[in-house]
Structure 1
């Protein structure tokens, strides 16, 4: 994977970055690859390769444009060739919120407060021109748990009952989702950049190409029930309360937060098992206990009663007590 993809040199040359040093950046859970370009002058830019047919940079371009037009800090697009999967963008630097707050614990609270306030500002706008986060999408995502986790644990589960339970739990939320907002879907500490190297700096956004139009609570769940970083219950509660107060959320918001927390965490468990079983990426397995523990907390809310009953009937107590158990 250290070899440069075909077409890279031609693309950066046409973008007037042909004299730049090309520095590969470690990838994550997708087919996308990233490179930092560094000119002799010291100027830098980020190069994304999102090769078709597995990837398509056009959604990133669309969402970045919408976010920039609506007061959010998305990377400026410097050059693009979507047909070949190339995108050159502004470089937000190396100060991700995740590493910053881990290295500077005193900055954790102000960094999360700024992230909450950014969501409040985002949700003052009607949703962008994105597909709706509808019941079919919620159910397909939740089904990743039964499709991948259950077989990995050699469990025979009630698939139809699982989807019916989710549909019953999510139906009230869909009624309140009529007034949609833009949902970035992966709004967490590893996708928020601190642009001026301090916790209270403007926050840059990355990895938002899968945005949909949905419920205000979803990105809060992404941030406060982070699959990759421990967020204390005290911090989660403080930030949830901050959002509710600043956004003027109604009395149903906490229930919807629990609904989407359980749905997202069920999806993530399935995705992490799939990354291991299908794609040979075992590193995500170590995150499942954190995700499972958050899901169990969400399932305690009365709004999740149908789903909680399904878990009681289909997932053995010993696996649940072990936060999902070991995946072989």
Structure 2
């Protein structure tokens, strides 16, 4: 294959996989590439190329090693050369939770129960050696809505008031967040690999966790249960929150924080999906905005979000809010 990155063959040979067939895997990233290595005996492995200076595999390796050392199901690392951007890992296969449960709806509850139980296990461990999910980070992420969505809709909005509203809404949550738990940040049905049938109690594998921070234990629950990429019914969301509460504990303040983080994350995603279209020319994310917006509106209805809800009422026209964010062209 003439289009293989330079240094690939020497790396896989040094890792003991020099005799494997190399299968490129299509991806959306501009610099990061993935390959499946397949031996004649059926063994497989995943090869990631994240070449510096555009990419840096070190955060992925840092989190992967910590997760594995703490009993979580991250892919095993077979070989690594971070300086050249090479990482060889265990192959979790092709069965993402999203496609599995969409094709087999009867397995949905079992799959989500296992995903909830993994969060319970993660939250029982001391937080990892990662940066804090602090107020500045929450505000910077929420600001993606005013930075990208508002201009795309030709809206003149009160950006200072937006920042102040988030500060007011999130401050009580920040006080309760410490000492914090490891937050994977993108824990949803497209980043959970099924290693067998959920109805048979099969384990699940974690991917795309390189941006982990130390934050609030409700955040990954929001990521999973207010999924931007697939519909999660309000009934399933409530059932899974109840399962988490039964196993890990929660109260009214926890549910208020869940709403706070739901609104914050969904505002961020609206901004990111708008940016992916406006800046990066990726229109496929636009169709997901109404789902994200609907979840954000439910979160904004919670009294804990009153300052942010008031800002939305004053700055985002009703016709856009009622149409799931409106059309971005």
Matching residue of 1:292 = 293
3-state SS of 2:252 partner: coil
State the shift of 1:55 in Å: 2.0
Structure 1, 13-22 or 169-178: larger mean CA deviation: 13-22
Q: Relative to structure 1, is the Cα distance of residues 279 and 298 closer, same or farther in structure 2, using a 3 angstrom cutoff? A: same
Alignment of 1:25-36 (within 5 A): 25-28=25-28, 31-36=31-36
1:167 matched residue in structure 2: 167
- 1:158-187, CA deviations, whole angstroms, 9 ceiling, x for partnerless residues? 111111100100000000001200000000
- Measured against aligned partners, the alpha-carbon deviations of 1:231-250 in whole angstroms (never above 9, x if no partner) come to 00100011011111210123
Q: CA deviation at 1:10?
A: 2.6
Shift of 1:30: 6.4
Contact kept? 1:187, 1:219, Cα under 8 Å: yes
Whether 2:127 is the aligned partner of 1:127: answer yes
- Contact 1:183/1:212 (CA < 8 Å) preserved in 2? yes
CA distance in 2, matches of 1:74, 1:289: 32
Q: Is the 8 A contact 2:187 2:224 kept in 1?
A: yes
Check the 8 A contact 1:29/1:275 in 2, yes or no: no
Q: Deviations over 1:258-284 (max 9, x none)?
A: 000000000011111111111111111
Partners of 1:221 and 1:29 in 2: CA distance: 25
* Deviation per residue, 1:66-113 (Å, 9 max, x gap): 111111111000111111211110001111111111111111001101
1:92-171 aligned at under 5 Å gives the runs 92-171=92-171
Provide, for residues 4-25 of structure 1, a one-character-per-residue CA deviation record: whole Å limited to 9, x for no partner: 2333223222222222222222
Q: What's the TM-score, normalizing by structure 1?
A: 0.97
Distance 1:304 1:30 in 2: 37
- Per the TM alignment, residue 3 of structure 1 is displaced from its structure 2 partner at its CA by 3.2
Which residue of 1 is the match for residue 177 of structure 2? 177
Deviation at 1:35, TM superposition (A): 1.3
CA contact (8 A) 2:74 2:205 kept: yes
Q: Is the 8 A contact 1:95 1:197 kept in 2?
A: no
Asked whether 1:18 is paired with 2:18, we answer: yes
Residue 311 (1) aligns with residue 312 (2): yes
1:5-52 CA-partner distances (Å, limit 9, x unpaired): 333223222222222222222223564221111112211001112222
Query: Which residue number in structure 2 is paired with residue 188 of structure 1?
Result: 188
Asked if 1:270 is matched to 2:267, the reply is: no
Q: Which moved more, 1:30-39 or 1:243-252?
A: 30-39
Number of equivalences: 327
Task: Find the aligned partners of 1:327 and 1:186 in 2 and give their Cα distance.
Answer: 24
SS at match of 2:98: helix
Unaligned runs of 5+ residues in structure 2 are: none
Report the equivalent of 2:236.
Answer: 235
Q: Is the 8 A contact 2:110 2:198 kept in 1?
A: no
Superposition RMSD on alpha carbons, in Å? 1.3
8 A Cα contact 1:266 1:295, kept in partner: yes
Q: Does 1:226 align with 2:265?
A: no
Contact 2:277 2:286 in 1 (8 A): yes
Whole-Å separation in 2 of the counterparts to 1:185 and 1:54: 22
Aligned equivalents of 1:30 and 1:284: distance in 2? 16
Which 5+ residue runs of structure 1 have no aligned equivalent?
Answer: none
CA distance in 2, matches of 1:294, 1:52: 37
Query: Deviating runs (4+, > 6 A) in structure 1?
Result: none
